[in-house]
Amino acid sequence: METVTTIRAFQIARRTLKGSVGFVPTMGYLHEGHLSLARLAHTSCDAVVASIFVNPTQFAPTEDLAAYPRNLERDLALLESEGVELVLAPTSNEEFYPADYNTWVDVLGITQRLEGASRPTHFRGVATIVAKLFNVVQPQRAFFGQKDAQQALVIRRLVRDLNFPIELVLGPTIRESDGLAMSSRNAYLTPQQRAAAPVLRRCLDHVEALYDQGERHAETLRSEMTKILQAEPLALPDYVSVADLEAMEELEMVTDKALVSLAVRVGKTRLIDNTILPRGQGLF
């Protein structure tokens, strides 16, 4: 595995890769969710490239950029053990954002809701860095996790609207044995908060069960999630949502595929999770 820290060095190394390239963009502090994407990429691509870059522009000034967990040495060892061929891991933010940087990618519409409503500048940062990474890496396929469902939908819009010749592939949310979705931010949880965190998955399990029993009123599904969250003293809900997959607008009735999602603060940590109805359907 070759690791490079500059875009220039990456572009030189990229030329040596033969055949189709699969790309797994990450912000590091890797877990099984990231590694499963690298494995998935190897099933359909000749070579796999990963990036490790804690993208400052997707964090608001009040958010956890400085505290975001980092362990480059461990990350590189994990990627190497997955047979990843090439890693771009810039050591400075200036590599992507030099002092005079002044170009931004704004995906309109779906970025205003849910995560975008709570984090108004977040998706501009995500869309900008993903567009830059796509230009630098030039992969045939790019791999993202369903845990960040709205991010995946934003990137799908970006790929369509800016004509990137890239196929997006979504991997399933990988969970701990008690149902908590894997996330680098889980590292912030104290033992007591960690014990409370599976409440998100319990909400989704309950909604899936209600749907299977025939419940189609979205407001009922939302209020059932709220009730479960209210019973968990350490959980502070940010939103619970049952939305359509195109405009991400809140539904009255679930008549077609729907994204059930929630964001919850457990202590200082903001956790997100989701499921698609009907159960087992893909996001794309």
| Three-point CA angle 227, 231, 237, nearest 5° | 65
Catalytic residue among 31, 34, 122, 206: 34
Query: Looking at beta carbons only, is 82 or 208 nearer to ligand PAF?
Result: 82
Q: Helices marked H in the chain — which ranges? A: 7-14, 32-44, 72-81, 115-118, 122-137, 149-161, 191-196, 199-212, 218-230
The residue from 3, 17, 26, 90 that contacts ligand PAF (CB under 6 A) is 26
Q: What is d(CA 86, CA 2) in angstroms, rounded to the nearest whole number?
A: 5
Cα dihedral 79/83/84/86 (nearest 10): 110
Among 27, 166, 254, 266, binds ligand PAF (CB under 6 A): 27
Tell me if 55 contacts ligand PAF by CB under 6 A: yes
Reply yes or no on whether 34 is catalytic: yes
Residue 151 vs 173, nearer CB to ligand PAF: 151
Q: How far is the CB of 211 from ligand PAF (least distance, A)?
A: 27
Determine contact, residues 49/14, Cβ cutoff 8 Å.
yes
Confirm or reject binding of residue 22 to ligand PAF (CB under 6 A). Answer: no
> Would you give the binding string for ligand PAF spanning residues 239-268, x where CB under 6 A is met?
------------------------------
Chain position carrying tokens 């539904």 = 251
Please tell me whether residue 25 binds ligand PAF under the rule CB under 6 A. Answer: yes
Least distance to ligand PAF, CB of residue 252, Å: 31
Q: Tell me how far, at minimum, the Cβ of 162 lies from ligand PAF, in Å.
A: 16
Least distance from C-beta 227 to ligand PAF, angstroms?
A: 30
Amino acid letter at 29?
A: Y
Q: State the minimum distance, in angstroms, from the CB of residue 203 to ligand PAF.
A: 22
User: What distance in Å separates the CA atoms of residue 57 and residue 154, rounded to the nearest whole number?
Assistant: 16
User: Where in 115-174 is the site for ligand PAF (CB under 6 A)?
Assistant: 126, 129-130, 148, 151
* Range in contact with ligand PAF (rule: CB under 6 A) among 25-33, 66-74, 169-177, 193-201: 25-33
Longest Cα pair distance anywhere in the chain, in angstroms? 57
Q: Are 155 and 168 in contact (CB under 8 A)?
A: yes
Residues 6+ apart with CB under 8 A from 106: 124, 127
Q: Where in the sequence numbering do the catalytic residues fall?
A: 34
Residues interacting with ligand PAF, by CB under 6 A? Answer: 25-27, 55, 58, 126, 129-130, 148, 151
